[in-house]
């Protein structure tokens, strides 16, 4: 009697498990996380729209997407996305025939391209809190941003291949120059041609305007910009953007 | 005795369920579907890279992503993505003050922007099979592409607001002109300013070149292009792209 009852319970358990598994495999359940009450599907759409440059000038991550962005950034998918893009850049680099004149150039952004500010943004609820200039300055001065491994790997390949690599950042030259140089060094970025920070002349300009002007100067010096990699669309738009541009993911903040 | 045993079994069941639920909520389990052996995380990365224009000139969807793209296209997330983008366009439209000169223009692509080819691509394994020009021509001639509801909703708003809406398509004018007109009509697209198909003069040109030339003509006629919506980056790049461009998702094919 007991055994039969146990048998029935076991069967019921298996049935429940199968139902749950099939629910989990079902796409609708997959996109939605009812256990947090969060609109997972909405946040997937929001993040895709950000990466495809459809949503612009957003100030903060939608609060309901906190868990989504956290999971994305630290759960493995962000790294996976970066790896796939870097692998594609790698393939593109392999198609380029360099001249011997020393003017084959490549541009990399710094924040959340070469080095990661994830630890900082963790404390800012992954971008659910508005930008905090003083907080970010303190973080940048600490020089503790770790390298993004795949980008460091790409950087080393570019340098070894013979590209002149320019690191172009919107960071303020006067206050953050030294800390940025040291941070890049302590993370293994050696052999770049120039680190270009925002000098007084470009203060207050949008990233598109400032970075366009820098790139225009480089082209004026005779450089051919083969590639340009950044985590913001404002790194990749405007004049002299480069022969190919590559957008790394960043769902935590927007720079115009 | 029996009751205590049942109690314990119940507790065990609850524990198992909680474990499964937490596994399902865990990001790694979320991105990976072991039951199909498919690299879900890789396909998410691939699709994001396509939408951010990092991967270009791809011929077919990676075979291992068939199930992923299918689930994306018919499981609800594609519609969700389109809705969010159209809602954003809507907000943008509401910020525009139209002049009364009749030259406020908007550009919409046709295939997989105004009308959907999902039914056709279902038969082509959602883009895992290479482009089949004859097959697609037969499909287009049938005039059975349904409207994408959110885009039709946007189209009607644009027309009602007073925009001159130009539908610009790479479809061949001579062979597909009549079928396209009829298809748009049977799906409720009334009141557009002009449907511009590819005439003989543009045969063999890339979409970027052809569509740039068309937009340049319109701007030459005096039109101000406020917005430009397409499912391909080649709809949105090149000259006179428009004041704002919006990329609708399409993980099934790439047009250069």
pLDDT value, residue B10: 52
User: Which of the residues B8, B44, B48, B251 would you substitute to probe the A interface, choosing the one with the greatest number of A C-beta atoms within 10 Å?
Assistant: B48
**Are the C-beta atoms of residues B190 and B68 closer than 8 Å to each other?**
no
- B24: chain A residues, CB-CB within 8 Å: 20, 24
Fold classification of A33-247 is Rossmann fold (3.40.50)
Say what the pLDDT of residue A115 is. Answer: 98
Tell me the DSSP string of A55-97: S-S--S--GGGHHHHHHHHHSSHHHHHHHHHHHHHHHHHTT--
* Pair of tokens at residue A30: 């997959």
Q: What pLDDT sits at residue A39?
A: 85
Tell me if A84 and B20 make a contact (CB, 8 A cut-off).
Answer: no
CATH code linked to domain B34-247: 3.40.50.1000
- What's the average model confidence in pLDDT over B38-55? 94
A-B CB pairs within 8 A amount to 125
Whether B182 shows a pLDDT value over 70: the answer reads yes
pLDDT at B39: 85
Q: Can you tell me the mean pLDDT for B180-206? A: 98
For residue B16, list chain A residues with Cβ-Cβ distance below 8 A.
Answer: 13, 17
Q: Is the pLDDT score of B12 beyond 70?
A: no
Reported ipTM: 0.86
pLDDT computed for residue A9 by the predictor: 52
Q: Is the pLDDT of residue B162 over 50?
A: yes
Residue of B76, B61, B69 whose CA lies nearest to A30: B76
Tens of pLDDT, residues A175-228: 999 999 999 999 999 999 999 999 999 999 999 999 999 999 999 999 999 999
Confirm if B120 and B139 have CB atoms less than 8 A apart.
Answer: yes
Residue B237's nearest CA partner among A64, A245, A194, A119 is A245
Measuring CA to CA, which residue among A16, A198, A225 is closest to residue A104?
A225
Domain locations along chain B: 1-31, 34-247
Low-confidence ranges of chain A (pLDDT < 70): 1-38
* HEC readout, chain B: CHHHHHHHHHHHHHHHHHHHHHHHHCHHHHHCECCCCECHHHHHHHHHHHHCCCCCCCCCCCHHHHHHHHHHHHCCHHHHHHHHHHHHHHHHHHHCCCCCCCCEEEEECCECCCECCHHHHHCCHHHCCCCCHHHHHHHHHHCCCCECHHHHHHHHHHHHHCCEEEEEEEEEHHHHHHHHHHHHHHCCCCCCCEEEEECHHHCCCCHHHHHHHHHHHHHHCCCEEEEEEECCHHHCCCCCCCCEEEECCCCCCCCC
* Per-residue pLDDT at B35 exceeds 50: no
Q: Is the pTM of this model over 0.95?
A: no
User: Between chains, do B30 and A71 touch, taking CB under 8 Å as contact?
Assistant: yes
Residue B3 pLDDT exceeds 70: no
* Residues B49, A77: C-beta atoms closer than 8 Å: no
Q: Which residues of B touch A45 (CB under 8 A)?
A: 77, 80-81, 83-85
pLDDT at B21 over 80: no
Determine which helix (DSSP H) or strand (DSSP E) holds A164, and give its type and residue range: strand A164-172
- Considering only CB atoms, B41 lies closest to which of A46, A48, A77, namely A77
Predicted local confidence at residue A66, as pLDDT: 97
Q: Which residues pair with A249 in a beta bridge?
A: none
Is A80 within 8 Å of B41 when comparing Cβ atoms? yes
Q: Which residue has the higher pLDDT, B219 or B21?
A: B219
> Contact A248/A231 with Cβ under 8 angstroms?
yes
Answer yes or no: do B51 and A55 touch at CB < 8 A: no
For residue B150, give Cα distances in angstroms to A56, A94, B78, B90, B109.
20, 42, 12, 10, 14
Closest Cα to residue A252, out of A95, A59, A8?
A: A59
Q: B52, B62, B86: best mutation site toward chain A, by most A Cβ within 10 Å?
A: B52
- Looking at the complex, report in whole angstroms how far the Cα of residue B104 sits from the nearest Cα belonging to chain A: 21
Average the pLDDT over B222-228 and give the result: 98
pLDDT band at B29 (very low <50, low <70, confident <90, very high): very low
User: Chain B partners of A84 at a C-beta cutoff of 8 Å?
Assistant: 42, 45-46, 49
Which sign, positive or negative, has the C-alpha torsion A86, A92, A97, A101? negative
pLDDT at A5: 54
| Interface of chain B toward chain A, CB-CB under 8 angstroms | 2, 5-6, 9, 13, 16-17, 20-21, 24-28, 30-31, 33, 35, 41-42, 44-46, 48-49, 51-55, 71, 75-77, 80-81, 83-85, 88, 245-247, 249
Q: B82 vs chain A: nearest CA distance in angstroms?
A: 8
Q: Per the CB < 8 Å rule, is A52 touching B16?
A: no
Give me the pLDDT at residue B121, please. Answer: 98
DSSP-based three-state secondary structure for A100: coil
- The yes-or-no verdict on residue B179 having pLDDT over 80 is yes
B26-30, B166-170, B189-193, B195-199: least confidently modelled range: B26-30
pLDDT at A120: 98
């Amino acid at each position: 009697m007991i055994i039969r009852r146990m048998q029935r319970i076991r069967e019921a358990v298996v049935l429940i498990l199968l139902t749950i598994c099939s629910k989990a495999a079902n796409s609708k359940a997959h996109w939605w996380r009812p256990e947090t009450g969060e609109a997972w599907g909405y946040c997937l759409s929001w993040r895709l729209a950000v990466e495809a440059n459809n949503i612009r000038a957003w100030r903060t991550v939608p609060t309901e997407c906190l868990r989504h962005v956290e999971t994305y950034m630290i759960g493995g998918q962000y790294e996976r996305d970066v790896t796939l893009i870097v692998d594609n850049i790698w393939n593109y680099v392999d198609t380029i025939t360099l001249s011997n004149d020393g003017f084959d150039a490549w541009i990399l952004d710094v924040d959340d391209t070469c080095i990661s500010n994830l630890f900082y943004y963790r404390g800012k609820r992954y971008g659910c809190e508005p930008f905090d200039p003083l907080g970010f300055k303190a973080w940048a001065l600490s020089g503790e941003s770790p390298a993004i491994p795949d980008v460091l790997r790409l950087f080393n390949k570019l340098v070894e291949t013979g590209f002149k690599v320019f690191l172009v950042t919107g960071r303020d030259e006067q206050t953050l120059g030294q800390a940025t140089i040291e941070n890049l060094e302590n993370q293994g970025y050696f052999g770049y041609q120039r680190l270009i920070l925002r000098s007084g002349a470009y203060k207050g300009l949008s990233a598109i305007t400032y970075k366009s002007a820098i790139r225009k100067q480089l082209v004026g010096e005779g450089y051919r910009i083969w590639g340009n990699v950044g985590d913001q669309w404002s790194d990749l738009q405007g004049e002299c953007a480069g022969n190919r541009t590559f957008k790394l993911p960043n769902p935590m903040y927007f720079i115009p």
